[in-house]
Structure 1
Amino acid sequence: MQIIPISYPIDFDTPHVFVGEQVVAIGDFDGVHLGHREVIGRALLTAKKLDLPTAIMTFHPHPRAVMGQDKYIDLLTPMKEKMEIFASLGVNHTYIVTFDASLMRLTPELFVDQVLDRLGVNSVICGFDFTFGYQGKGNPDSLCELSHGKFSVEVVRPFQMDGEKVSSTLIRESLQQGDIDTVTRLLGRPYSISGIVIDGEKRGRLLGFPTANLQLDEAYVIPTNGVYAIKASVNGETYKGVMNIGVKPTFATGELKPSFEAHLFDFSEQIYGEHMKVELIAFLRPERKFSSIDELVAQIKVDAEAARNK
């Protein structure tokens, strides 16, 4: 998949910008959840029928973060992971559009005229709630009107599960409630975080449960503090394990920033400095303070056994 970073105004003469007939799925796609997959799938199907390349147009930073909604600084799928998912779906190229003040002030008319028209798109696929242009005044209906027949517009209806619309907001809320089962269903895959294994306090080793301490490499939406059953991938291998996300209240020193400590089953390698991806399989229990080390160790054994069975 070709990744094409662009910013407004777009220099269409640069060799890396693909201009030509193409089917474009447009949206932020944070999470690339089942609703997003429906939009992208429609684009892939339309492109196949027309024998055209499939493109995705997405935005960075998240538009809502630029407009001052701080919770959108943290993402469900940071850009690198998003690109990996798009490529796995068979997308030909992705435009990563810099969302800044100049783009934010662009009217819906100018966005169509100076971006979509000039890219030479044949068809645009978007979700029912897609907005664009200054103050989000553009919507799927106005996109149809502004196309003036130069390209077609397909609008994908809301994707629902159990009578509720699948959305990035619902996934964020479910993560913050520890509802990993719902998160997995809405994403169509386990939620994952990744980073570099760093040196820690080595307290887990003293307790008989050595842990890999993860320093996240992206600004992820962090799940609620607690203990999770996980699958961890490192050095090309995947292991079951258990992870604590939180402030370790039994040994609390006033630190409020959560740590990410994973104990991998049947694993004894030194992996400091290695990259590790962690999939959250199940929420086992909230984080809590124990009255003694022995009580903590007993609970860790219970957590580990529960995680092995997930």
Structure 2
Amino acid sequence: MMRTIELSFPHTLTLNELPETVAAIGFFDGIHKGHQHVIETAVQEASNNQMESAVITFHPHPSVVLNKSEKQVKYITPIKEKKAILQKMNVDRLYIITFNKELSNLSPREFINHFIVGLHIKHLVAGFDFSYGHRGKGNMDNIDDHAQERFTYTKIDKVVLDGEKVSSTRIRKLLENGNVEKVQELLGRPLSITGEVIEGAKRGRELGFPTANLFINQDTLLPKPGIYAVKVIIKNNVYEGMASLGINPTFTEDRIDLSLEVHIFDYNNDLYGEELQLQWHKFIRDEEKFDNVDQLIKKIEQDETIIRGFFS
């Protein structure tokens, strides 16, 4: 079972209460294939040396603190999803360091002393572009100056797919275009979100397509609005379905917040209050405004046929 330890500067942990550890460090938004390579290297290295493995990450995103215009960052993997994925990767400890002004003002050496040496990290694994300390002046090219032989480290090169670096920025751009299939390639798994089923307008039921309305946290990055082929996991059972992400323009033109409704194929149980995991598999079409309900129903039937075909 992975232990989660939240820290801020200065922390009060002492070396005699901490095991010798191999740690992967980074922000790791998305935990894509590049991140996985860093984390898996640390887990393997820990196993080889009979040490504990750890992931050291930060929250919130540095841009919230450093960039005045960024009040709210949306995450490919909000902290809850991040924890669930790392748990499956056999990480022993997750250190979540609060990113604030105090942390951003530490010199590279202070950062290393406090959060690497001070957490009993004997071997550090990081991506080639990881930087630390005030204005990111510490990096994987000058880390020797700050490590001073108190720990060893591995620098992981970028992971490339289709001639381009796998990165969180690339994934964000793909999501803006609804390209969840390509995102799945970069993540090595479908993009997923977890949410609780909340009371909706119950229009779907009246149309013959009962839907579950999912509550989405404000910090979750979503693909562009539209209709998607999805899979839904309810209590470890997987169902196919279709999701509508948008404002339901046929019924409501004046909404600004997005709603996420999912019609689960061949499923009739009441889901209010249940937590669902939704996996995005394919963008089907943009949201449309229909002149009447019959047109809408006809289109939904077509969508369902396309999606069932996609999954078959």
Q: Distance in 1 between matches of 2:217 and 2:179?
A: 24
User: Deviation above 3 Å: which 4+ runs of structure 1?
Assistant: none
User: Paired residue for 2:6?
Assistant: 5
**Which residues of 2 match residues 108-257 of structure 1 at below 5 A?**
108-217=108-217, 219-257=219-257
1:87-131 deviations in whole A, cap 9, x for unaligned? Answer: 111111111111111111111011012221122211100001101
Q: Distance in 2 between matches of 1:121 and 1:74?
A: 30
Equivalent residue letter for 2:29: D
Distance 1:188 1:303, change over 3 A: same
Offset of residue 306 of structure 1: 1.4
Q: Distance in 2 between matches of 1:188 and 1:151?
A: 31
**SS state of the match for residue 115, structure 2?**
helix
User: Paired residue for 1:79?
Assistant: 79
What is the count of residue pairs matched by the alignment?
308
Q: Percent identity?
A: 39
Q: 5+ unaligned residues in a row in structure 1: which ranges?
A: none
Equivalent residue letter for 2:88: S
User: Paired residue for 2:70?
Assistant: 70
Q: Distance in 2 between matches of 1:14 and 1:212?
A: 49
**SS state of the match for residue 243, structure 2?**
strand
Q: 5+ unaligned residues in a row in structure 2: which ranges?
A: none
The 8 Å contact of residues 247 and 257 in structure 1, kept in 2 or not, is answered as yes
TM-score by length of 1: 0.95
Q: Distance in 1 between matches of 2:245 and 2:218?
A: 16
TM-score by length of 2: 0.95
Offset of residue 201 of structure 1: 0.9
Offset of residue 256 of structure 1: 1.5
Equivalent residue letter for 1:292: N
User: Paired residue for 2:265?
Assistant: 265
Equivalent residue letter for 2:18: V
1:247-282 deviations in whole A, cap 9, x for unaligned? Answer: 111112310111001000111111111111100011
Equivalent residue letter for 2:13: F
Q: Distance in 1 between matches of 2:218 and 2:51?
A: 34
Equivalent residue letter for 1:92: D
Q: Distance in 2 between matches of 1:113 and 1:268?
A: 57
The 8 Å contact of residues 24 and 126 in structure 2, kept in 1 or not, is answered as yes
Distance 1:113 1:14, change over 3 A: closer
Q: What RMSD, in angstroms, separates the aligned Cα atoms of the two structures?
A: 1.6
Equivalent residue letter for 1:10: H
